[in-house]
A and B are shown apart, each in its own frame.
Chain A
Amino acid sequence: MTKSLISLAFEKAKKEKRPALLSYTVAGDTSFQKSVEILISISKNVDIVEIGFPHSTPIADGGQIQTSSHRSLKNGFKMNHIFQIVKKYKKIENSKPVILMGYYNMIYQYNENKFLKSCKNSGVDGVIVVDLPWPENRKFAKKCKTKNICFVQLLSPTTSNLRLRKIIKDSHEMCYYISMLSTTGGKLKVSPNNIMKNYFKIKKIKINKNLVNGFGITTNTISGLKRADGLVCGSQICKEITNSFQKRQNPVTNVSKLVYNLKRKII
């Protein structure tokens, strides 16, 4: 079997002795066109791009991502747009893996099968569903697998040891560790050392599983976490987009600079 783009991205980072860098941006923020331009401009410094589909009632997102989502919805975001964005991006960055992230109601209304078909057609490599935990997600995860799309299981500091083992057993090529009890974009309330201690506890369960850290990762905290397989930065990027928007500056150049700085701190 050929290796997935997600696996290849982790392999490449490992060869370069650094964690993979994952970005998170909201589709359609600040506009359809701008969100594509942002993705293209940060591409050379990230290994995997996560694109969020905005939801009106997010129950796990902090202020920054809420603001980005709100802006996108106000601009008239529709589910179809996200696949057009991926298509446009993949035309230019054919080998960069793309993971979609969002809430289950959007997938449910779009229809699971139709959603996966659109994912496949546009070139999506993985999916994260914030509010579809294990074991409820087993059926959908299996459907993803048959389409060669990675269903990314989430793990958290509250996940029990037994549960960790069961989830990892059912997981695909990548898992996502939520580093602390927080919505996205919270201040790091646990020391990077403690996060990494938990991280390696999980990593030990299955050493060759790609495990990324997310939540609270910024230019200030990222270097303390660089022993992880991958690191996700989302809220700081969304915040940068908001700041640029408010100052009437170009978010593309500003976000590009920010991502460059993130990358610099982990090599």
Chain B
Amino acid sequence: MKIKKKIPLIDQHDKYGFWGGKFGGSFIPETLKKPVEDLEELFNKLRYQKKFLNERDFYFKNWVGSPTPLIKLGNLTKHLGGAQIWAKVVSEANGGAHKIYNATIHCLIAKKSKKKYIIGDTGAGYAGKMLSMAAKKFGLKCKIFMGAKDIVRQQPNVKAIKKNGAEVIPVYSGSQTLVDAVSECMRFWVANCDTTAMCVGSTVGPAIFVRICGWSTSQISRELKVQLIEEFGSIPKKLKLYNCVGGGSSSFGFWNEFMDYDKKQVEFIGVEAGGPKKSKKHAAPLTYGSKIGILHGAAQYVNQNSDGQIDETESISAGLDYPGVSPLHCFLKNTKRARYTAASDEDALEAYKLVTKYENLNPSLEPSHAFAEAIKTAPKLSKDTIIIVNSCGDAKKDRDIIKKRLGKII
């Protein structure tokens, strides 16, 4: 298994949509075969159309607010000693997280295919919030599927979704979290694929959804490359890109443009959700060596029992609380281009405390996982090493959890 150079990673799949011959694919019911093929055809056409690319760039710039800032975390660097720590503040994007890129592209595609409705899943509520925003912007009716447990723990985003005029459909099956929301959303699409477009909220699902999402969030690394050259004159000799990994959309987007660099120069570190320290449950299939299985239409490393039943996960961070992970990350792990590790709930909370103490930055619990690993490693690294953490979400949505766990009001 090898990564090819000069070919976008989203295109390095075989004719059935498998990366490295075994990750991804489209394990879908017959009914979805046609809508998925139609979407593939349309996306493959649009992504090379100048007009569509201009449209994308226009909305990314004028509506999403690209580029999002790259800032040095001077106080944190000084406190820790060692490597320089920077943050790409993607949470400054309209709506407060990277999910806006994928949502915007899916709505643009839905408009081109003349669909009137769009549906989507959400865990932390960001994918749902952004899809509802984009749907409103582009005049589409929108339904968001969300686990009942997540609805309780991510109220600020639920309110935002409703304010944007979208319907929130609570999902009561299974663990009542993201995994069940995605299943329910796919079931709804099976029954309504003639009138409705579906947006999968991360780089997961049947291959086409992995590709569209990866293509959309790659905006992050396109911006970062320009910003690095502006700041340092060239791409730094020792660069480490830290990112949390749930489904894997923000990390893939944060890394994509640097794929062809030697990993000794640009290293990718993905941080999964290890769950509570005391619990055996986690949401870190890459770190803890889960077996390959099929979840939501794609083959991937996934937490499951020996029978192939998907395990329940546990994490303080709703956005990372997913038993599987993008086929793209499985491919990056197997080819050793990226390295994966996990941070526990407690690690993430500690990191949140430290970052907010020293810096004027308010990362949500998802990127706090990435900060935890960066904080742990930075003191051991040389001063000319540049660490960049993708601060891909804002903690406003986590205010209830943070208040409860840290007694802190944000």
Q: Which of B183-191, B210-218, B240-248 faces chain A?
A: B183-191
Choose from A61, A79, A131 the contact partner of B297 (Cβ within 8 Å): A131
Choose from B29, B35, B174, B193 the contact partner of A131 (Cβ within 8 Å): B29
Give chain B residues whose Cβ lies under 8 Å from the Cβ of A58. Answer: 183, 187
Give chain A residues whose Cβ lies under 8 Å from the Cβ of B191. Answer: 181-183, 186
B29, A104: Cβ atoms closer than 8 Å: no
Given contacts A55-B309, A58-B183, A181-B31, A105 and B304 within 8 Å (CB-CB): yes
Question: In the complex, what residue of chain B is closest to A153 when comparing beta carbons?
Answer: B30
Nearest chain A CB to B400 CB, angstrom units? 28
Given contacts A56-B174, A66-B173, A103 and B307 within 8 Å (CB-CB): no
Q: Does A73 contact B (CB under 8 A)?
A: yes
Give chain B residues whose Cβ lies under 8 Å from the Cβ of A106. Answer: 307-308
Give chain A residues whose Cβ lies under 8 Å from the Cβ of B360. Answer: none
A158, B308: Cβ atoms closer than 8 Å: no
Q: How far does the alpha carbon of A186 sit from the alpha carbon of B191 in the complex, in Å?
A: 8
A79, B193: Cβ atoms closer than 8 Å: no
Q: Does B130 contact A (CB under 8 A)?
A: no
Nearest chain B CB to A201 CB, angstrom units? 16
A178, B304: Cβ atoms closer than 8 Å: no
Contact string, A104-144, partner B, CB cutoff 8 A, digits 1/0? 11101110000000000000000000111110100000000
Nearest chain B CB to A174 CB, angstrom units? 15
Q: Does A49 contact B (CB under 8 A)?
A: no
Q: How far does the alpha carbon of A110 sit from the alpha carbon of B33 in the complex, in Å?
A: 26
Give chain A residues whose Cβ lies under 8 Å from the Cβ of B25. Answer: 136
A59, B174: Cβ atoms closer than 8 Å: no
Give chain B residues whose Cβ lies under 8 Å from the Cβ of A136. Answer: 16, 25-27
B30, A108: Cβ atoms closer than 8 Å: no
B309, A73: Cβ atoms closer than 8 Å: yes
B192, A181: Cβ atoms closer than 8 Å: yes
Give chain A residues whose Cβ lies under 8 Å from the Cβ of B183. Answer: 57-59
Give chain B residues whose Cβ lies under 8 Å from the Cβ of A205. Answer: none
Q: Does A246 contact B (CB under 8 A)?
A: no
Q: How far does the alpha carbon of A73 sit from the alpha carbon of B309 in the complex, in Å?
A: 9
B293, A108: Cβ atoms closer than 8 Å: yes
B190, A182: Cβ atoms closer than 8 Å: yes
A109, B306: Cβ atoms closer than 8 Å: yes
Give chain A residues whose Cβ lies under 8 Å from the Cβ of B294. Answer: 103-105, 108, 131
Q: Does A208 contact B (CB under 8 A)?
A: no
Q: How far does the alpha carbon of A61 sit from the alpha carbon of B192 in the complex, in Å?
A: 14
A158, B31: Cβ atoms closer than 8 Å: yes
A59, B308: Cβ atoms closer than 8 Å: no
Question: In the complex, what residue of chain B is closest to A67 when comparing beta carbons?
Answer: B173
Give chain B residues whose Cβ lies under 8 Å from the Cβ of A61. Answer: 187
Q: Does B235 contact A (CB under 8 A)?
A: no
Q: Does A156 contact B (CB under 8 A)?
A: yes
Max count, chain A CB within 10 A of own CB: residue among B30, B33, B193: B30
Choose from A57, A79, A157 the contact partner of B174 (Cβ within 8 Å): A57
Q: Does A243 contact B (CB under 8 A)?
A: no
Contact string, B341-355, partner A, CB cutoff 8 A, digits 1/0? 000000000000000
Nearest chain B CB to A52 CB, angstrom units? 14
A158, B307: Cβ atoms closer than 8 Å: no
A:29-82 near B, CB below 8 Å: 55-62, 66, 70, 73, 78-79
B33, A133: Cβ atoms closer than 8 Å: yes
Give chain A residues whose Cβ lies under 8 Å from the Cβ of B304. Answer: 105, 109
Q: Does A237 contact B (CB under 8 A)?
A: no
Question: In the complex, what residue of chain B is closest to A154 when comparing beta carbons?
Answer: B30
Nearest chain A CB to B393 CB, angstrom units? 25
Nearest chain B CB to A252 CB, angstrom units? 27
Give chain B residues whose Cβ lies under 8 Å from the Cβ of A62. Answer: 187
Q: Does B310 contact A (CB under 8 A)?
A: yes
Contact string, B140-181, partner A, CB cutoff 8 A, digits 1/0? 000000000000000000000000000000000110000110
Nearest chain A CB to B208 CB, angstrom units? 14
A:218-241 near B, CB below 8 Å: none
Q: Does B28 contact A (CB under 8 A)?
A: yes
A159, B30: Cβ atoms closer than 8 Å: yes
A:155-170 near B, CB below 8 Å: 155-160, 163
B30, A156: Cβ atoms closer than 8 Å: yes
Given contacts A59-B190, A181-B190, A183-B187, A133 and B29 within 8 Å (CB-CB): yes
Give chain B residues whose Cβ lies under 8 Å from the Cβ of A155. Answer: 30
Nearest chain B CB to A183 CB, angstrom units? 5
Give chain A residues whose Cβ lies under 8 Å from the Cβ of B193. Answer: 158, 181
Nearest chain A CB to B15 CB, angstrom units? 10
Give chain B residues whose Cβ lies under 8 Å from the Cβ of A73. Answer: 309
Q: How far does the alpha carbon of A181 sit from the alpha carbon of B27 in the complex, in Å?
A: 18
B:266-302 near A, CB below 8 Å: 291, 293-297
Question: In the complex, what residue of chain A is closest to B186 when comparing beta carbons?
Answer: A59
Max count, chain B CB within 10 A of own CB: residue among A56, A58, A158: A56
A159, B33: Cβ atoms closer than 8 Å: yes
Question: In the complex, what residue of chain A is closest to B312 when comparing beta carbons?
Answer: A56
Report 7 cross-chain contacts, Cβ distance below 8 Å, ordered by A residue: A56-B174, A57-B296, A66-B173, A105-B293, A136-B25, A158-B34, A183-B190
Q: Which 10 pairs from chain A and chain B are nearest by CB?
A: A109-B308, A158-B34, A105-B294, A156-B31, A154-B30, A105-B308, A131-B27, A60-B29, A56-B309, A106-B308
Contacts A59-B29, A136-B16, A163-B34 known; list 9 others, CB within 8 Å.
A57-B183, A59-B296, A79-B308, A104-B294, A108-B294, A109-B306, A156-B33, A181-B31, A181-B194
